[in-house]
Structure formats: structure tokens, C-alpha cells
């Protein structure tokens, strides 16, 4: 089993809460700021697949999303979604939690994470 990874943005409040939660429960993890260390296309595709599609992976209520041109907010398929997320990594719903078994989830919720880590 490999290490738990927490992907997000260093200055994101939700990511800070998630990191504090992990620290508070004594759970080891690696934090990866995906703006500083971009995630590859295959990883992004896997995340989208595991969470139920690009619509679930991308935060469409974000300021970044609302600031995109209308044409960009209408991706025609996976290639368009991928190009959009690669160009705007802050669109990914945060944080992305990847546990040692490779399972991916997005967002932070104390009850959901307690269940996930069986606490």
C-alpha cells in the first residue's frame, strides 16, 4: 500500500482544513500543490473517471469557472475538459484525496473522511 496523497492548492481554505484534519488524526500523507506541480493528463483522466466524470471533478461554481469565456464553459468532450483543466488547475474541486489503494475522492467532509479512514 502506497502513501496517501492529498492534492490541492497551498492557500485554499478547504485544503488547509483537510490537512489539519489529517494531522489531527495522525494520518501520514503527502500534500501536492497541483498549481506548483501540475498533474499529468492520465492522472486527471483517472480522477475524472473515478469521481463520476469531469462535471464532478471540476468546480463549476468557482470564480475561475465563472470568469471563463462562455465557449470554454461548454466542453464538447474529454479532450476539451482535459485542456481546460490543464490550463486552469484551480478548476479541480479541492482537495483531491488519493488513498494508498488508489481510490480517489474530491472535497472535504469530516463524516465522509472518518468513514473513508474507518475512524
Question: Where does the pLDDT of residue 2 fall: very low under 50, low under 70, confident under 90, or very high at 90 and above?
Answer: low
Burial class (CB in 10 A: 0-12, 13-18, 19+), 61: exposed
Please report, rounded to a whole number, the percentage of residues in the chain having pLDDT higher than 70.
98
Distance CA 88, CA 65 (A): 9
pTM, to two decimals: 0.91
CATH code of the domain in which 95 resides: 3.40.30.10
Convert the pLDDT of each residue in 100-111 to its tens digit: 999 999 999 999
Helix residue ranges, H only, 2-109: 13-24, 41-51, 54-57, 63-67, 78-87
Fill in the DSSP letter of residue 80.
H
Q: Is the link from the previous residue into 110 a cis peptide, with omega within 30 of 0?
A: no
Convert the pLDDT of each residue in 36-69 to its tens digit: 888 999 999 999 999 999 999 999 999 999 999 9
Domain that holds residue 49: 5-116
| Active-site entry in 4, 12, 39, 68 | 12
For residue 38, the model assigns a pLDDT of 86
Domain count, the chain: 1
Residue 15 designated active-site? no
Q: Give me the residues paired with residue 7 across strands.
A: 32, 96
Fill in the DSSP letter of residue 53.
S
Amino acid at each position: 500500500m502506497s502513501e496517501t496523497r492529498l492534492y490541492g492548492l497551498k492557500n485554499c481554505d478547504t485544503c488547509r482544513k483537510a490537512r489539519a484534519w489529517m494531522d489531527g488524526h495522525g494520518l501520514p500523507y503527502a500534500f501536492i500543490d497541483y498549481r506548483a506541480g501540475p498533474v499529468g493528463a492520465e492522472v486527471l483522466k483517472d480522477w475524472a473517471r473515478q469521481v463520476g466524470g469531469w462535471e464532478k471533478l471540476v468546480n463549476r461554481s468557482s470564480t475561475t469557472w465563472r470568469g471563463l469565456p462562455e465557449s470554454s464553459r461548454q466542453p464538447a468532450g474529454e479532450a476539451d475538459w482535459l485542456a481546460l483543466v490543464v490550463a486552469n488547475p484551480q478548476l479541480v474541486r479541492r482537495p483531491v484525496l488519493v488513498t494508498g489503494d488508489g481510490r480517489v475522492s474530491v472535497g472535504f467532509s469530516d463524516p465522509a473522511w472518518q468513514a473513508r479512514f474507518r475512524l
